[in-house]
Amino acid sequence: MAKNKLLLVTVFFAVTLAVLTACAVKSSVPPPAVSVQVPKTPYAESDYPPEPVSGKTVFEFFRDEKIAAGWNLGNTLDSHNNGISGETVWGNPPANQELMNGIKAAGFDIIRIPVTWMGEIGNAPDYRLRLNRLKRVSEVAGMAHNAGLKVIINLHHDGSTESGGRDLGWLSISKASRSQNEYDAITAQFTRVWEQIAIYFKNYGDWLIFESFNELHDGSWQSTSDTRLLSTLNKWNQVFLNTVRSSGGNNESRYLMVGAYCNDNRQALSDNFSLPADTVSGRLILSFHYYAPYEFTIRGSRSSWGTDAEKQKVESDFAPFKEKYLDKNIPVIIGECGAVLQLYPNDSAKEDQARKSRLDYISHIFSAAKKHGLIPVYWDNGSTRGGGEKFGLFDRRTGQPNSPDSEALIKLMVNNVL
């Protein structure tokens, strides 16, 4: 009996150890999908002095810092031409301190600085980023910080797919989803790029947030049920997190923002999307973009908005994020939203209708976001003329509203979230 009891005890502890080991493996963060060798020479590090961090969860940080509304520095560091990024190639002047001061003075709390890195990346296997590009991003982020703004930087048009089969950026989710070799090659480059950004900014404090990428899609600009695409996106968000966390410094607990396929609100609520597993709790932010209805907000082919049904749709789109994320202390940022300026030189009545509808739309989006605990970030591309998307509200040189209507829109945004 003694031998049998000893045997049972031995088996019990062996099984217990195996179960605990399995649980530990399951709950630990998986390694990056692709093994990346040490670069031939160390990656660049900034001489920025190490800043203290609060130790707060991002939910606590946003609450205590009263982060309620934000603004995008669109079509600036994210602009590109012929596969090469360039700050002014889409018509905006270089970012300056006056602009950042104006954004803060207007009442915004956080700025998203989209950054395209394409054309600034060297050859495999190191994919070394051009140092001047890192320095310029740090300068612009520093201007925003000096003005008192919290800052988000990302990979923006690096994943651009203009239409099915036509990839403008190197971070092609379509290619990666069709071929294991393509997935491995693109993921290696993605890892390298984020490794360098993370290392360069590792001393920066809580005010700097990293966002994995922007609106990855296959060219359709639509939600998808393709599990290959959705799986690739989930894997890349995990690779992003693992890479940042392993770079040391403040990145071990930095606030990180991720989004679902095409940054679609429906995809973010889908069971096919999952937040990456983290080594530290309470540091993740969920982001989605909101441009509904497209015909009014972006295309500008509808001059009217504001029926009860249209307003209720916004409520219905925003409400589910409470149970899915906010109740779990995961902040939700609407990383882009807004509506274009519509001009009808030969139809003053239609132009007046479009103007009033735009004011109503912005007011409702920002107030509904506040009601449902979301943080809206307006998309401003600096444009007010021509045939393109006219989202511009600020004079990019002075930081002042570019028109009385723009000033009214800005006041609606900040007053609805105070």
Task: Tell me the catalytic residues.
Answer: 215, 336
Of all helices (H) and strands (E), which one includes residue 378? strand 375-380
168: tokens are: 């403008």
The per-residue DSSP string of 166-179 comes to: EE-SS--HHHHHH-
One-letter amino acid at 32 equals: P
Q: Which residue has the tokens 């979301």?
A: 374
Angle between helix axes 131-146 and 180-200 (nearest 10 degrees) is: 50
Q: Which residues contact 237 (CB under 8 A, 6 or more apart)?
A: 212, 258, 275, 276
Query: Which has the closest alpha carbon to 165: 177, 155, 156?
Result: 177
One-letter amino acid at 190 equals: F
Angle between helix axes 308-318 and 348-371 (nearest 10 degrees) is: 30
The per-residue DSSP string of 230-298 comes to: HHHHHHHHHHHHHHHHTT-GGGGS--EEEEEEEEEHHHHTSTT--PPP-SSTT-EEEEEEE--SHHHHT
CA-to-CA distance for 154 and 185, rounded, in angstroms?
20
Residue 404 preceded by cis peptide, ω within 30:
no
Helix/strand/coil percentages in the chain, nearest 5: 40, 15, 45
* Per-residue 3-state assignment (H helix, E strand, C coil) for 44-68: CCCCCCCCCCCCCCHHHHHHHCCCC
